[in-house]
């Protein structure tokens, strides 16, 4: 039996913006199917630029990106965008329909799904994030944490292979933060989590990648990286006051 291709393969990826600013310098990254990986790094490191290559919003200046064996290229963009679900930092960037149900149905409906199949897909996505009972509520009547969970559901409704989360814990109270962590642990998808919240990365992602100055500066076990004080200092990564990464049982 042949093994499945990696969820994500980035090879020699370089990119410069039209103003000449070079954001990525030959990034190499492989993420296996089902892995949960945190993407760490200071502001301006190139994290967002990298993420925007994963579903073809930006086109590689040099190098290549493949998703589940499919090259990110114009001919494959519709399928790539189904397979790579990006959850933005602000859920209000993703929620724009009158009800939660319509928001979650939007993607599958746009892809041609109708009737009972669509209803089941929406229910399943909302159930996975614990929001099924809110299907008929207007999104703007929900708390910020509930809206973030609905934003995750809008992506899960497309049944992606990779879930990319941009700062998923930002602006969440402790209970909402924990609820989202429980949801993310329960999902059978590959997760790439862009975050400055280092304890959250340690809680959820066995592996972390440090992107700094447009290159991968470190790639390894999250706990090991967070305990490397020299690495952390060099790349402007700071743990909360008093937090000891060795005191936490690392995820597997």
Which residues constitute the domain of residue 217? Answer: 8-237
**Model confidence band, residue 4 (pLDDT cutoffs 50, 70, 90):** confident
Instruction: Flag whether pLDDT at 244 surpasses 70.
Output: yes
Task: Tell me whether residue 252 is in a domain.
Answer: no
Residue 170 domain flag: yes
59 found inside a domain: yes
pLDDT at 250 over 70: no
**For residue 176, what is the domain's CATH number?**
3.40.50.300
Whether 152 is covered by a domain: the verdict is: yes
**pLDDT reading at 2 higher than 60:** no
| CA-to-CA dists, residue 245 to 184, 207, 249, 251, angstroms | 20, 14, 9, 12
- The answer as to whether 142 is a domain residue is yes
Looking at residues 107-116, what average pLDDT do you find?
Answer: 90
For residue 71, being part of any structural domain is answered with yes
Q: In this structure, is residue 246 part of a structural domain?
A: no
82 — pLDDT class (breaks 50, 70, 90): confident
Render pLDDT for 161-186 as a digit per residue (tens, 0 to 9).
999 999 999 999 999 999 999 999 99
Q: What is the pLDDT of residues 55-64, one digit of tens each?
A: 888 887 889 9
Looking at the structure of the chain, the number of domains it has is: 1
250 is a domain residue: no
């Amino acid at each position: 039996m042949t093994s499945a291709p990696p969820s994500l393969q980035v090879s020699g990826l370089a990119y410069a913006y039209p103003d000449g600013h070079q954001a990525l310098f030959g990034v190499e990254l492989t993420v296996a199917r089902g892995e949960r990986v945190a993407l760490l790094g200071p502001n301006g490191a190139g994290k967002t630029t990298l993420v925007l290559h994963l579903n073809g919003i930006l086109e590689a200046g040099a190098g290549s990106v493949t998703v589940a064996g499919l090259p990110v290229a114009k001919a494959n963009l519709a399928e790539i965008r189904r397979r790579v679900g990006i959850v933005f930092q602000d859920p209000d960037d993703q929620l724009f329909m009158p009800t939660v149900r319509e928001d979650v149905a939007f993607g599958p409906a746009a892809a041609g799904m109708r009737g009972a199949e669509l209803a089941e897909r929406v229910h399943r996505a909302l159930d996975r994030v614990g929001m099924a009972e809110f299907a008929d509520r207007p999104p703007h009547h929900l708390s910020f944490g509930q809206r973030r969970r609905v934003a995750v559901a809008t992506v899960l409704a497309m049944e992606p292979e990779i879930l990319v989360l941009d700062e998923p814990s930002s602006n969440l109270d402790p209970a909402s933060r924990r609820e989202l962590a429980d949801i993310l642990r329960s999902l059978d998808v590959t997760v790439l989590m862009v975050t400055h919240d280092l304890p959250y990365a340690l809680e959820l992602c066995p592996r972390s990648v440090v992107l700094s100055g447009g290159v991968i500066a470190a790639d390894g076990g999250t706990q090991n990286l967070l305990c490397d004080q020299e690495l952390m200092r060099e790349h402007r990564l700071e743990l909360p006051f008093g937090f000891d990464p060795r005191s936490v049982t690392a995820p597997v």
